[in-house]
């Protein structure tokens, strides 16, 4: 099982990090070893002094997908959830400045929180799924699938052009503005359409 992540899929987030808005999806992959086990705390890694939270809508693939046309993409997932793409921002900046890949900053052990999944059929409109992240009881990130530059069906179509998507693979669809640092003692809680979806303690 792999996790395919999408970078800069919300225009305001791209601008807050002083990045250009992409013309096509920016993709990177997290290995399954990056997934934080349920109910485990997230431990800030010793190689970073600036780990950021990035809440994202997550899609779980339900059938093998290769070269999927956008008009058929909705058939390849039936659940939506939430997750956090933890990012060692200081390390990412260093790697980007050197023109190197981001994986050390994005794909380390425990860097991927995966919450609960909800049947797609329970959402009124998958083009307007609302979500938010609270840190210590305060809302820090809020977004909607309607704010994505590339919608879910487009992402499945583009990703499957390059990588075969298998049953159980996850797509992290990008984060809205409001990313910020975490520190030991923080508690992060994700909400999907107003319902608590996950919580994680920072150590």
Query: Which option is the CATH number for 3-201: 3.90.850.10, 3.40.50.300, 1.10.600.10, 3.40.30.10?
Result: 3.90.850.10
Dist CA 115 CA 57 (whole Å): 10
* pLDDT on residue 78: 97
- Look at residue 11 in the predicted model and tell me its pLDDT: 77
Nearest-angstrom CA–CA distance, 177 and 131: 12
**Cα-only R_g, the chain:** 16
The tens-digit pLDDT sequence of the chain (203 residues) is 999 999 989 977 656 666 677 789 999 999 999 999 999 999 999 999 999 999 999 999 999 999 999 999 999 999 999 999 999 999 999 999 999 998 999 999 999 999 999 999 999 999 999 999 999 999 999 999 999 999 999 999 999 999 999 999 999 999 999 999 999 999 999 999 999 999 999 99
Going from N- to C-terminal start, the domains of the chain cover 3-201
Which residues pair with residue 135 across a beta bridge? 138, 188
**Residue 192's closest CA among 84, 85, 86, 80?**
80
């Amino acid at each position: 099982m792999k996790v395919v992540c999408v970078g800069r899929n919300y225009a305001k987030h791209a601008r807050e990090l002083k990045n250009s808005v992409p013309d096509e999806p920016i993709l990177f992959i997290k290995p399954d070893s990056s997934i934080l086990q349920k109910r485990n705390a997230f431990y800030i890694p010793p190689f970073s002094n600036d780990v950021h939270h990035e809440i994202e809508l997550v899609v779980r693939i339900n059938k093998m997908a290769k070269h999927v046309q956008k008009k058929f993409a909705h058939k390849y997932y039936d659940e939506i959830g939430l997750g956090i793409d933890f990012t060692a921002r200081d390390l990412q900046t260093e790697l980007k400045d050197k023109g190197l890949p981001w994986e050390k900053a994005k794909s380390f052990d425990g860097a991927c929180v995966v919450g609960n999944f909800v049947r797609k059929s329970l959402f009124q409109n998958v083009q307007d799924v609302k979500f938010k992240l609270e840190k210590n009881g305060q809302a820090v990130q809020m977004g909607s699938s309607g704010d994505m530059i590339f919608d879910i069906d487009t992402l499945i179509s583009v990703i499957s052009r390059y990588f075969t998507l298998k049953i159980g693979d996850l797509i992290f669809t990008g984060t809205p503005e409001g990313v910020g640092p975490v520190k030991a003692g923080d508690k992060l809680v994700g909400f999907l359409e107003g319902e608590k979806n996950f919580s994680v303690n920072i150590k």
